[in-house]
Structure 1
Amino acid sequence: MTTEEQQVGGHAAFSDIPLPADSAPSVALDGPPVPPVGRIRLYSPDEWEEFIREWATAVEEDYVQIKLLGGAGDRGTDIVGFKSDRQFEGPWDCFQAKHYERPLSFSVAAAEMLKVFVSVIEGAYSLPDTYQFLAPKGLSTRFNMLISNPTTLRESFLALLVEGEPQVKKLNGDTLDAVRKLAAGTDFARFRSVEVLDALSTHSRTRWHAARFATSLPARGDSEAPPDEYTSGEARFLQQLLAVYAERHPDEITTLGSVAGVPKVSRHLQQQRVRFFRAESLKEAYSRGRSGTGPAC
């Protein structure tokens, strides 16, 4: 290439210079999207507990407070939903998080159920209204059949309370007898499981779902148009606008009614009212998301 060919109007014609062989643009390939069921199977146990804590906010129950207690010394109470300010002394539900490589077995679940009865006997808390197991790979076939038949589940649990069994070796005789008596008089329908798909469906109503599973945000819907008459909800906003208008037009604007006499200001007021009601609509949608009645937008 000659010097003349390399110059265009005194500047190098870089478009004529070929790219080096190793400078070709790379192509990034994305794999298939990971569905929510697959994502939660990749969670750590702590992430799984956080997911259940979020899920519990959308459960159709009026909880006074939901707590994540999972950890050493939690006495089988990973996440709890209190139904009164009496907390453990009043009605409550327990959500037990079990994030294992395999479906949850009856033997593992029975150990958690034993913790509950021992804790009640020792006065740590009252029996929960429900004790719900949540496992990303579900329950084993045997345990699923047992938990679907409360009477059979109770009989199977009582059968484990035999001296010498690994489950009860650490219990003294008096405690074991008390556990047998309490379990025998307990309705085991309180022990339940939550199917993964049902948990995901409920979680979709929380404000965390879109961010956690990279789903699109639902449409917020049309904002409410400002009514012709001023409302009490916008009173503070209107007072602040009026103060600005009166400062700019002290001889013409003294009340909201007098704003109509200044066309430019009147148009500005209507525009600001539209924006105010749009902002209130967004705030209401966000509040619904926080309360678990719908996703925030």
Structure 2
Amino acid sequence: MSDQAADPATEAFVAHRNLLFTVAYEMLGSAADAEDVLQETWLRWVKVDLDQVRDHRAYLVRITTRQALNRLRAMSRRKESYVGSWLPEPVLTAPDVAEDVELAESMSMALMLVLETLTPTERAVFVLREAFDVSYDEIAAAVDKSPAAVRQIAHRARLHVDARRPRAAVSASEARAVLERFRQALETGNLQSVLDVLAPDVVLMADGGGVKQAVLRPVTGADKVVRMTIGKLAQLEGTLTCEPTVVNGNPALLLRLDGEIDGVMALKMENSIITGVYYVRNPAKLTHLESETTPTLR
């Protein structure tokens, strides 16, 4: 370990690992793929002549971005044959991440779904510029575009995202209060209590990946969403519990069936009311809910 600690390449990679994971995760929406990107980044990083690298952080971000872009293009083809709605893979984060407004928003399910509507290059440019404040010159080097082209892409992506992101931010304390009301309503099966915290045009999306039962298409409207959530949960065999947690830097519900993780519900909130419910049941996307991930923007 002492030899490893003294190795400059290892020290630099370890120092920036959480940042690199966050970059890859926000580009891909998949923690498993982000981990693979980090492995690919490491294999390339150890072959670099560090004497020729002025800024280790910038160079590592550049490698990570290129590997993530390659994987993002491959994932786009995989999603075309995905069964039902595709939702980002949720990651368990520490409660204090929810207090970091910038980080919490950049990782939120709601924003990451908006990012799904961008092209791979637009997503890379938007994430690097808006979330990580990377310079246009550095982004240009990472995506093989001119700085002028990157500025245009960033402007276009920003307009696209701003037109679709939540209008009114909800504080972490407000979000926890709404989440608690939603949790109690689900556990008691009180239809009216669920309706009270849902916007009339709330949208439910569920991701079972063709493995677990889930609605195949988005469901819109409070009445329909209530019937789907209360009705489907009531059909589960076993003892269901809803545990408040923090997923992607935002309050969420971890659903356990007889003590085993069955899924997670992330919520989109505006004006202290729920406008989106994202229910992930695909077992392959629940592996990062047992231990905390430590994201960072810096």
- TM-score, L = length of structure 2: 0.24
Q: Which has the higher helix share?
A: 2
TM-score w.r.t. length of structure 1? 0.24
Q: Higher Cα Rg: structure 1 or 2? A: 1
